[in-house]
């Protein structure tokens, strides 16, 4: 008796996988009390879930046992000590016909002993011993059963604590990865500018930030929806927790559920370890679902349930877990139109768009263009190791005249390239960015500046906006003609997002469909 008990005690302090810990416990019980079947069950809610067993059919581990349907289990749970059932006891045994030997059923259970497993007075599970021989447990003392029950309860508690620690470590690992990603790839949550459109955006963010309302950020590609999401998060009560980013457009249907909700060990081929999904990683913080309009339809009902009841269920898991997550979503699509076309669920749309915010395009933020350009030049100076970087007046005028179909993202890339061209290998000397370094499409003649020298006056000046629109209309028409009327191909040759090209074409009066 002493040796198996010592083995059990050592297992409590050993680094074992949860499944191995349970298996070794059952094996130790069989050595102490030889019988045909031992089952260790954990109480989960109102039902008992088998964690390990020997001597029963393999399907037992997949079953759940409600004590209200199994009177013997109910009696064990209610008792303060071991419970023995006589061979002629009329109560059905939950494992009748489940006893096996060599794959053959041994028939009805005749001898059964059960112990409720308690930790600090709270029932956490049940240990049962079964045999088809009626007198099998007559020589087994109650004190021995009490000792087994105490060790089994300790094993359940230890395994539960380890599972919780591993889950927390997994979650924290994802959070750390996310924070490192933010440090390496993203700047702070700054919304730069003082234009009326920018001030409206900042006001709306301030209105909703310190609530837990879902926010839908809408706007063209490149306008800065992620920056707006970060600004909401850092102004919220969840600012000390993580902001977890998910790019829904990069989630193939085959992995979307796993990425969002996680999986258990063995849930599918290759799932050697359990893994938390993004919802669990964001517990207590904020989950940012970028490009939510691209989320596969098959995943949308599960996302809706997570938003409605705060529950997620890992692939392969039997029970959901509660999460406390605030949702921020972003899209460059018109989700109302997507709902009308059957591409997006109406109930999910209403759930994520409780507080919609329109992030304005750069062309509506004219007063901010030069401020943003200076900010991006300073960032390029740091990254490229340059000396002081400045712009000529004509470069600033060119930036103001351009329509920026790629929005803030296009401006950032333009300024980074311009700084690199202007530096021409001079890393520590002052750098002056001129309009020729911007590599923008040809625009109507710019006014002369001292830096550029005199410029010929236009012979037939036209209003600035009309001239720019005429240029863009002609440019799009030529690229569309060269692409044989294929809008997607024309967008690629113009280096524009297809959606932005459609919007620009409609504004310019060109025929455009969403196809």
Give ∠ CA 266-271-273 in degrees, rounded to 5: 90
State both tokens at 390: 């400045």
Q: How far apart are CA 338 and CA 86, in angstroms?
A: 66
Other beta carbons less than 10 A from residue 378's beta carbon:
15
Query: What residue spans define the domains of the chain?
Result: 2-163, 186-360, 368-437, 464-507
Q: What does the pLDDT read at residue 421?
A: 92
Specify whether the CB–CB gap between 54 and 26 falls below 8 A: yes
**Per-residue pLDDT tens digits of the chain, which is 515 residues long:** 445 544 544 544 444 466 777 888 888 888 888 888 899 888 888 899 888 888 887 778 878 899 999 999 999 999 988 999 887 777 888 887 677 665 555 566 678 999 998 888 888 889 999 888 888 888 888 888 888 888 888 877 776 655 555 555 555 556 555 554 554 444 444 788 889 999 999 999 999 999 999 999 999 999 999 999 999 999 999 988 889 999 998 888 888 888 899 888 888 877 778 888 899 989 999 999 999 999 989 899 999 999 999 988 888 888 888 999 999 999 999 999 999 999 999 999 999 999 999 999 999 998 899 999 999 999 898 888 888 899 999 999 999 999 999 999 999 999 999 999 999 877 678 889 999 999 887 655 444 444 444 434 444 444 566 667 777 877 888 888 777 778 887 887 887 777 778 778 877 777 654 44
Q: Is the dihedral of CA 427, 431, 435, 436 positive or negative?
A: negative
Q: How far apart are CA 280 and CA 324, in angstroms?
A: 9
Q: Any idea which architecture 464-507 has in CATH?
A: Orthogonal Bundle (1.10)
Residue 64 and residue 159: Cα distance in Å, rounded?
19
Check: CB of residue 390 under 8 Å from CB of residue 433: yes
Structure tokens, 270: 């290759």
Pairing of strands 83-85, 104-107: unpaired
Of 379, 383, 389, 387, nearest in space to 190 by CA:
379
Which among 98, 119, 118, 121 has a CA at the least distance from the CA of 39? Answer: 98
By C-alpha distance, which of 340, 260, 323, 337 is closest to 296? 260
515 by Cβ neighbours in 10 Å (0-12 / 13-18 / 19+) ranks as exposed
For residue 90, the model assigns a pLDDT of 79
Distances (CA, A) of 274 to 206, 224, 261, 262: 39, 35, 11, 8
The C-alpha atoms of residue 153 and residue 122 are separated, in whole angstroms, by 10
The listed CATH number (3.20.20.150, 3.40.50.300, 3.30.70.1280, 3.40.47.10) that belongs to domain 186-360? 3.40.50.300
CB 394 within 8 A of CB 452: yes
Sign (positive or negative) of CA dihedral 200, 205, 210, 214: positive
CA distance 262 to 487: 38
Residue 416's contacts (CB-CB under 8 Å, 6 or more residues apart) are 376, 379, 380, 383, 384
User: H-helix or E-strand containing 126?
Assistant: strand 122-131
Write down the pLDDT at residue 240: 86
CATH architecture type of domain 368-437: Orthogonal Bundle (1.10)
Q: Count H helices and E strands in the chain, helices first.
A: 17, 18
Question: With left for phi above 0 and alpha for psi between -120 and 50, is residue 404 left, alpha or beta?
Answer: left
Nearest to 231 by CA among 206, 212, 214, 248: 206
pLDDT for res 2: 41
Q: Let me know: does 153 contact 118? Beta carbons within 8 Å.
A: yes
Residue range 2-163, CATH number: 3.30.450.40
- Strand-pair category, 99-101 with 215-218: unpaired
For 272, counting Cβ atoms within 10 Å of its Cβ (0-12 exposed, 13-18 middle, 19+ buried), the class is exposed
């Amino acid at each position: 008796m002493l040796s198996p008990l010592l083995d059990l005690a050592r297992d409590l302090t050993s680094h074992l996988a949860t499944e191995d810990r349970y298996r070794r416990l059952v094996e130790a019980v069989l050595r102490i009390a030889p019988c045909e079947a031992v089952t260790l069950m954990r109480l989960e809610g109102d039902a008992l879930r088998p964690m390990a067993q020997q001597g029963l059919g393999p399907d037992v581990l997949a079953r759940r046992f409600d004590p209200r349907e199994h009177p013997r289990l109910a009696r064990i749970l209610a008792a303060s000590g071991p419970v023995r059932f006589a061979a002629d006891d009329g109560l059905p045994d939950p494992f009748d016909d489940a006893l096996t030997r060599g794959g053959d059923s041994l028939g009805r259970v005749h001898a059964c002993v059960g112990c409720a497993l308690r930790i600090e007075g709270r029932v956490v599970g049940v240990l049962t011993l079964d045999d088809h021989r009626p007198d099998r447990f007559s020589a087994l003392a109650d004190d021995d059963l009490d000792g087994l029950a105490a060790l089994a309860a300790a094993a359940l508690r230890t395994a539960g604590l380890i599972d919780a620690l591993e889950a927390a470590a997994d979650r924290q690992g994802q959070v750390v990865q996310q924070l490192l990603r933010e440090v390496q790839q993203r700047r702070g949550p700054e919304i730069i500018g003082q234009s009326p459109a920018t001030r409206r955006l900042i006001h709306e963010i301030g209105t909703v930030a310190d609530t837990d309302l879902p926010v839908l950020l809408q706007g063209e590609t490149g306008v800065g929806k992620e920056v707006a999401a970060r600004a909401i998060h850092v102004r919220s009560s969840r600012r000390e927790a993580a902001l977890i980013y998910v790019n829904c457009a990069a989630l193939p249907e085959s992995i979307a559920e796993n990425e969002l909700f996680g999986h258990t060990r063995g849930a599918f081929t290759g799932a050697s370890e359990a893994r938390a999904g993004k919802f669990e990683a964001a517990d207590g913080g904020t989950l940012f679902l970028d490009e939510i309009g691209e989320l596969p339809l098959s995943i949308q009902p599960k996302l809706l349930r997570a938003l409605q009841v705060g529950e997620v269920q890992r692939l392969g898991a039997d029970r959901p877990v509660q999460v406390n997550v605030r949702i921020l979503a972003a899209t460059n699509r018109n989700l109302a139109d997507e709902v009308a076309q059957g591409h997006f669920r109406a109930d999910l749309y209403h759930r994520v768009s409780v507080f919609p915010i329109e992030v304005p395009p750069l062309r509506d933020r004219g007063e901010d263009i030069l401020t943003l350009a200076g900010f991006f030049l300073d960032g390029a100076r740091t990254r490229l190791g340059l000396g002081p970087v400045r712009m000529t007046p004509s470069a600033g005028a060119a930036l103001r005249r351009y329509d920026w179909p790629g929005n803030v993202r296009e401006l950032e890339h333009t300024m980074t390239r311009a700084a690199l061209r202007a530096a021409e290998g001079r890393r520590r000397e002052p750098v002056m960015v001129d309009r020729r370094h911007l590599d923008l499409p040809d625009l109507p003649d710019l006014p002369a500046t001292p830096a550029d020298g005199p410029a010929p006056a236009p012979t037939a000046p036209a209003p600035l906006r009309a001239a720019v629109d005429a240029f863009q209309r002609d440019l799009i028409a030529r690229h569309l003609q060269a692409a044989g009327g294929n809008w997607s191909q024309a967008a690629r040759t113009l280096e524009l997002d297809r959606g932005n090209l459609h919007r620009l074409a409609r504004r310019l009066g060109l025929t455009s469909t969403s196809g």
